[in-house]
A and B are shown apart, each in its own frame.
Chain A
Amino acid sequence: MATVALQIDELECLSRTASSAATLQECVLLIEDSEDAMWLVRHALVEYGKGKYRLEWACTLSEGLDQLSKGGIDLVLLDLGLPDSSGPESYAWVREVSPKVPVVVLTGNTSEETEFAVTASGAEGYLVKDEVSGSLLLQAIRAALYANKQRNLRKSMLPRLFRPRFRVG
Protein backbone atom coordinates (compact mmCIF):
# COMPACT_ATOMS: atom_id res chain seq x y z
CA MET A 1 0.00 0.00 0.00
CA ALA A 2 2.80 2.37 0.91
CA THR A 3 4.42 1.78 -2.44
CA VAL A 4 1.15 2.49 -4.23
CA ALA A 5 0.61 5.62 -2.16
CA LEU A 6 4.11 6.79 -2.97
CA GLN A 7 3.48 6.20 -6.65
CA ILE A 8 0.28 8.24 -6.49
CA ASP A 9 2.13 11.01 -4.66
CA GLU A 10 4.83 10.97 -7.31
CA LEU A 11 2.21 11.14 -10.04
CA GLU A 12 0.48 14.05 -8.34
CA CYS A 13 3.82 15.76 -7.89
CA LEU A 14 4.68 15.22 -11.55
CA SER A 15 1.30 16.48 -12.65
CA ARG A 16 1.67 19.57 -10.41
CA THR A 17 5.13 20.20 -11.86
CA ALA A 18 3.80 19.87 -15.42
CA SER A 19 0.89 22.21 -14.77
CA SER A 20 3.09 24.79 -13.03
CA ALA A 21 5.51 24.60 -15.98
CA ALA A 22 2.58 25.30 -18.31
CA THR A 23 1.49 28.30 -16.23
CA LEU A 24 5.09 29.58 -16.16
CA GLN A 25 5.08 29.63 -19.94
CA GLU A 26 4.19 32.96 -21.47
CA CYS A 27 1.33 32.84 -23.90
CA VAL A 28 1.89 34.41 -27.32
CA LEU A 29 -1.22 35.01 -29.41
CA LEU A 30 -0.49 35.09 -33.12
CA ILE A 31 -3.17 36.81 -35.18
CA GLU A 32 -2.29 35.77 -38.71
CA ASP A 33 -4.35 34.35 -41.57
CA SER A 34 -1.58 32.32 -43.23
CA GLU A 35 -1.07 28.84 -41.83
CA ASP A 36 2.36 28.69 -43.48
CA ALA A 37 3.38 31.83 -41.59
CA MET A 38 2.01 30.35 -38.37
CA TRP A 39 4.29 27.33 -38.79
CA LEU A 40 7.32 29.60 -39.15
CA VAL A 41 6.46 31.44 -35.94
CA ARG A 42 5.69 28.19 -34.14
CA HIS A 43 9.05 26.81 -35.18
CA ALA A 44 10.89 29.97 -34.05
CA LEU A 45 9.21 29.79 -30.62
CA VAL A 46 10.16 26.13 -30.21
CA GLU A 47 13.70 26.53 -31.57
CA TYR A 48 14.71 29.77 -29.82
CA GLY A 49 12.16 30.02 -27.01
CA LYS A 50 13.61 27.22 -24.86
CA GLY A 51 10.14 26.07 -23.80
CA LYS A 52 9.24 29.45 -22.31
CA TYR A 53 6.45 30.28 -24.74
CA ARG A 54 3.14 28.78 -25.71
CA LEU A 55 1.52 29.71 -29.01
CA GLU A 56 -2.15 30.41 -29.56
CA TRP A 57 -3.27 31.07 -33.12
CA ALA A 58 -6.18 33.10 -34.45
CA CYS A 59 -6.61 33.44 -38.20
CA THR A 60 -8.91 36.47 -38.18
CA LEU A 61 -8.93 39.67 -36.16
CA SER A 62 -12.34 38.93 -34.67
CA GLU A 63 -11.17 35.50 -33.53
CA GLY A 64 -8.05 37.09 -32.05
CA LEU A 65 -10.07 39.74 -30.21
CA ASP A 66 -12.28 36.98 -28.79
CA GLN A 67 -9.25 35.16 -27.44
CA LEU A 68 -7.79 38.38 -26.06
CA SER A 69 -10.97 39.26 -24.22
CA LYS A 70 -10.86 35.89 -22.44
CA GLY A 71 -7.50 36.87 -20.90
CA GLY A 72 -4.34 34.85 -20.28
CA ILE A 73 -2.43 36.32 -23.22
CA ASP A 74 1.02 37.78 -22.46
CA LEU A 75 1.89 39.13 -25.91
CA VAL A 76 0.24 39.57 -29.29
CA LEU A 77 2.01 39.02 -32.58
CA LEU A 78 -0.14 40.82 -35.09
CA ASP A 79 -0.26 40.64 -38.87
CA LEU A 80 -1.74 43.79 -40.38
CA GLY A 81 -3.20 42.16 -43.49
CA LEU A 82 -6.09 40.07 -42.19
CA PRO A 83 -9.25 38.92 -43.96
CA ASP A 84 -11.48 41.07 -41.73
CA SER A 85 -9.20 44.05 -41.11
CA SER A 86 -6.10 45.65 -42.50
CA GLY A 87 -3.46 48.26 -41.71
CA PRO A 88 -3.12 50.26 -38.48
CA GLU A 89 -6.84 49.73 -37.84
CA SER A 90 -6.11 46.12 -36.82
CA TYR A 91 -3.62 47.37 -34.25
CA ALA A 92 -6.11 49.94 -32.93
CA TRP A 93 -8.70 47.18 -32.37
CA VAL A 94 -6.24 45.04 -30.44
CA ARG A 95 -5.29 48.02 -28.25
CA GLU A 96 -8.94 48.80 -27.65
CA VAL A 97 -9.70 45.29 -26.42
CA SER A 98 -6.49 44.76 -24.52
CA PRO A 99 -4.61 47.98 -23.68
CA LYS A 100 -2.07 46.36 -21.34
CA VAL A 101 -0.86 43.44 -23.46
CA PRO A 102 2.26 44.26 -25.52
CA VAL A 103 1.85 43.99 -29.27
CA VAL A 104 4.58 43.21 -31.78
CA VAL A 105 3.52 43.74 -35.38
CA LEU A 106 4.72 41.05 -37.78
CA THR A 107 3.78 42.06 -41.27
CA GLY A 108 4.80 42.15 -44.90
CA ASN A 109 3.82 45.81 -45.02
CA THR A 110 6.97 47.90 -45.51
CA SER A 111 5.21 51.26 -45.62
CA GLU A 112 6.96 53.77 -43.38
CA GLU A 113 3.67 55.58 -42.74
CA THR A 114 2.11 52.38 -41.41
CA GLU A 115 5.15 51.63 -39.27
CA PHE A 116 5.10 55.15 -37.84
CA ALA A 117 1.34 55.08 -37.21
CA VAL A 118 1.56 51.80 -35.36
CA THR A 119 4.72 52.42 -33.33
CA ALA A 120 3.62 55.95 -32.42
CA SER A 121 0.44 54.40 -31.02
CA GLY A 122 2.50 52.20 -28.71
CA ALA A 123 3.35 48.97 -30.54
CA GLU A 124 6.37 47.32 -28.91
CA GLY A 125 7.88 46.29 -32.22
CA TYR A 126 7.40 46.37 -35.98
CA LEU A 127 8.94 43.46 -37.84
CA VAL A 128 8.85 42.87 -41.59
CA LYS A 129 8.20 39.19 -42.31
CA ASP A 130 10.69 38.55 -45.08
CA GLU A 131 13.43 40.47 -43.27
CA VAL A 132 13.23 38.89 -39.84
CA SER A 133 14.84 35.64 -38.74
CA GLY A 134 13.58 33.32 -36.02
CA SER A 135 16.21 34.50 -33.56
CA LEU A 136 15.38 38.18 -34.17
CA LEU A 137 11.71 37.45 -33.70
CA LEU A 138 12.45 35.91 -30.31
CA GLN A 139 14.62 38.89 -29.35
CA ALA A 140 11.74 41.21 -30.16
CA ILE A 141 9.30 39.09 -28.14
CA ARG A 142 11.63 39.00 -25.12
CA ALA A 143 12.29 42.74 -25.31
CA ALA A 144 8.58 43.54 -25.58
CA LEU A 145 7.68 41.33 -22.61
CA TYR A 146 10.51 42.82 -20.52
CA ALA A 147 9.55 46.41 -21.35
CA ASN A 148 5.94 45.68 -20.49
CA LYS A 149 6.87 44.13 -17.13
CA GLN A 150 9.04 47.14 -16.28
CA ARG A 151 6.22 49.50 -17.19
CA ASN A 152 3.72 47.57 -15.06
CA LEU A 153 6.20 47.51 -12.17
CA ARG A 154 6.69 51.30 -12.35
CA LYS A 155 2.93 51.80 -12.42
CA SER A 156 2.44 49.59 -9.38
CA MET A 157 5.16 51.49 -7.49
CA LEU A 158 3.84 54.99 -8.21
CA PRO A 159 1.16 55.06 -5.49
CA ARG A 160 3.76 53.96 -2.90
CA LEU A 161 6.22 56.67 -4.00
CA PHE A 162 3.66 59.42 -3.66
CA ARG A 163 2.18 58.18 -0.35
CA PRO A 164 2.69 60.84 2.37
CA ARG A 165 5.37 59.66 4.77
CA PHE A 166 4.69 61.98 7.70
CA ARG A 167 1.47 63.00 9.26
CA VAL A 168 1.22 66.61 10.28
CA GLY A 169 -0.65 67.58 13.42
Chain B
Amino acid sequence: VGTGNDDITAAKIGNGNGEVIPDAIKARWPVFLANRWRDLVTMQAALRSGDFVSIRTIAHNCKGIGAGYGFPEISRIGGEIGSGVKALDSARVQESLGDFECCLRDANLTSKTTCPTEADFR
Protein backbone atom coordinates (compact mmCIF):
# COMPACT_ATOMS: atom_id res chain seq x y z
CA VAL B 1 0.00 0.00 0.00
CA GLY B 2 1.55 3.24 -1.02
CA THR B 3 0.73 6.80 -1.84
CA GLY B 4 1.32 6.43 -5.56
CA ASN B 5 4.77 8.01 -5.75
CA ASP B 6 8.25 6.53 -5.78
CA ASP B 7 9.39 7.93 -2.47
CA ILE B 8 9.67 4.90 -0.22
CA THR B 9 9.51 6.96 2.96
CA ALA B 10 6.37 8.74 1.79
CA ALA B 11 4.85 5.39 0.84
CA LYS B 12 5.45 3.99 4.31
CA ILE B 13 4.37 7.10 6.17
CA GLY B 14 0.86 7.50 4.88
CA ASN B 15 -2.46 6.10 5.99
CA GLY B 16 -3.38 4.49 2.69
CA ASN B 17 -6.18 6.99 2.07
CA GLY B 18 -3.86 9.59 0.60
CA GLU B 19 -4.15 11.73 3.74
CA VAL B 20 -1.09 13.34 5.27
CA ILE B 21 -0.48 12.20 8.83
CA PRO B 22 -1.00 15.22 11.12
CA ASP B 23 1.67 16.32 13.57
CA ALA B 24 -0.57 15.54 16.54
CA ILE B 25 -0.64 11.89 15.46
CA LYS B 26 3.08 11.84 14.66
CA ALA B 27 3.72 13.09 18.19
CA ARG B 28 2.22 9.84 19.46
CA TRP B 29 4.39 7.58 17.30
CA PRO B 30 6.84 6.66 20.11
CA VAL B 31 3.95 5.53 22.36
CA PHE B 32 2.12 3.87 19.47
CA LEU B 33 5.18 1.89 18.36
CA ALA B 34 6.13 0.94 21.93
CA ASN B 35 2.59 -0.42 22.32
CA ARG B 36 2.96 -2.45 19.12
CA TRP B 37 6.28 -3.93 20.36
CA ARG B 38 4.43 -4.89 23.54
CA ASP B 39 1.72 -6.46 21.34
CA LEU B 40 4.40 -8.46 19.50
CA VAL B 41 5.85 -9.86 22.73
CA THR B 42 2.34 -10.72 23.98
CA MET B 43 1.41 -12.44 20.71
CA GLN B 44 4.65 -14.45 20.69
CA ALA B 45 3.94 -15.65 24.23
CA ALA B 46 0.31 -16.39 23.31
CA LEU B 47 1.44 -18.43 20.30
CA ARG B 48 3.74 -20.49 22.52
CA SER B 49 0.81 -21.29 24.81
CA GLY B 50 -1.62 -21.84 21.92
CA ASP B 51 -3.82 -18.89 22.93
CA PHE B 52 -5.20 -17.97 19.52
CA VAL B 53 -8.00 -15.85 20.97
CA SER B 54 -5.55 -13.34 22.48
CA ILE B 55 -3.55 -13.21 19.26
CA ARG B 56 -6.69 -12.56 17.24
CA THR B 57 -7.78 -9.72 19.54
CA ILE B 58 -4.39 -7.99 19.39
CA ALA B 59 -3.95 -8.51 15.64
CA HIS B 60 -7.44 -7.18 15.07
CA ASN B 61 -6.55 -3.99 16.94
CA CYS B 62 -3.28 -3.57 14.99
CA LYS B 63 -5.17 -3.99 11.73
CA GLY B 64 -7.66 -1.33 12.78
CA ILE B 65 -5.27 1.41 13.81
CA GLY B 66 -1.95 0.96 11.96
CA ALA B 67 -2.98 2.91 8.86
CA GLY B 68 -4.49 5.71 10.94
CA TYR B 69 -1.09 6.31 12.51
CA GLY B 70 0.60 6.26 9.09
CA PHE B 71 1.73 2.64 9.08
CA PRO B 72 -0.44 0.73 6.60
CA GLU B 73 2.00 -2.21 6.79
CA ILE B 74 1.07 -2.69 10.44
CA SER B 75 -2.59 -2.89 9.38
CA ARG B 76 -1.78 -5.30 6.56
CA ILE B 77 0.28 -7.64 8.72
CA GLY B 78 -2.32 -7.42 11.50
CA GLY B 79 -4.80 -8.74 8.92
CA GLU B 80 -2.35 -11.52 7.92
CA ILE B 81 -1.93 -12.62 11.52
CA GLY B 82 -5.72 -12.63 11.89
CA SER B 83 -6.07 -14.84 8.81
CA GLY B 84 -3.46 -17.26 10.19
CA VAL B 85 -5.36 -17.45 13.46
CA LYS B 86 -8.65 -18.07 11.64
CA ALA B 87 -7.02 -21.00 9.81
CA LEU B 88 -5.48 -22.19 13.15
CA ASP B 89 -2.17 -22.28 11.28
CA SER B 90 0.60 -21.77 13.87
CA ALA B 91 3.39 -21.76 11.27
CA ARG B 92 1.66 -19.02 9.30
CA VAL B 93 1.07 -16.97 12.43
CA GLN B 94 4.73 -17.43 13.42
CA GLU B 95 5.83 -16.23 9.98
CA SER B 96 3.53 -13.21 10.16
CA LEU B 97 4.86 -12.33 13.61
CA GLY B 98 8.35 -12.33 12.05
CA ASP B 99 7.09 -9.93 9.38
CA PHE B 100 5.51 -7.82 12.11
CA GLU B 101 8.83 -7.53 13.92
CA CYS B 102 10.63 -6.45 10.70
CA CYS B 103 7.84 -3.96 10.03
CA LEU B 104 8.21 -2.46 13.50
CA ARG B 105 11.98 -2.11 13.04
CA ASP B 106 11.34 -0.32 9.70
CA ALA B 107 8.71 1.87 11.35
CA ASN B 108 11.14 2.85 14.11
CA LEU B 109 13.72 3.73 11.47
CA THR B 110 11.42 5.78 9.24
CA SER B 111 9.79 7.55 12.16
CA LYS B 112 13.15 8.10 13.87
CA THR B 113 11.89 6.55 17.10
CA THR B 114 13.77 4.07 19.26
CA CYS B 115 13.25 0.32 19.19
CA PRO B 116 12.73 -1.04 22.69
CA THR B 117 15.13 -3.67 24.02
CA GLU B 118 14.11 -6.96 25.61
CA ALA B 119 14.75 -5.41 29.02
CA ASP B 120 11.87 -3.00 28.39
CA PHE B 121 9.43 -5.90 28.52
CA ARG B 122 10.76 -7.59 31.65
Chain B residue total in the interface (Cβ 8 A)? 23
Which residues from 132 to 159 on chain A have a C-beta closer than 8 Å to any C-beta of chain B? Answer: 133-135
Q: Is the pair B65, A130 in contact by a Cβ cutoff of 8 Å?
A: yes
Residues of A within 8 A of B28 (CB): 36, 39
**Interface residue from A35, A130, A133, A134 paired with B64 (Cβ < 8 Å):** A130
Q: Which residue of B lies closest to A129 (CB)?
A: B64
Which residues from 101 to 133 on chain A have a C-beta closer than 8 Å to any C-beta of chain B? Answer: 107-109, 129-130, 133
A35 to B24, CA, bound (A): 15
A130 to B79, CA, bound (A): 10
Instruction: Say whether chain A's binding surface is mostly helix, strand, loop, or mixed.
Output: helix
A158 to B19, CA, bound (A): 45
Q: Shortest Cβ distance from A41 into chain B, in angstroms? A: 9
Say yes or no: A47-B22 contact (C-beta < 8 A), given A39-B28, A133-B15. yes
Q: Spot the interface stretch: B66-74, B90-98, B104-112.
A: B66-74
A52 within 8 A of B: no
Q: Is the pair B22, A107 in contact by a Cβ cutoff of 8 Å?
A: no
Q: Which residue of B lies closest to A108 (CB)?
A: B64
**4 additional contacts, CB 8 Å, given A43-B25, A47-B24?**
A34-B61, A107-B64, A130-B68, A130-B79
> What are 14 of the A-B contact pairs (CB < 8 Å)?
A36-B31, A37-B64, A37-B65, A37-B68, A39-B28, A40-B68, A40-B69, A43-B25, A47-B22, A108-B61, A108-B64, A130-B67, A133-B15, A135-B19
Q: Which residues of B contact A (CB under 8 A)?
A: 15-17, 19, 22, 24-25, 28, 31-32, 35, 57, 60-61, 63-69, 75, 79
- A-B residue pairs, 8 tightest by C-beta: A129-B64, A108-B64, A40-B68, A130-B75, A133-B17, A108-B60, A130-B67, A34-B61
Q: Which residues of A contact B (CB under 8 A)?
A: 33-37, 39-40, 43, 46-47, 81, 107-109, 129-130, 133-135
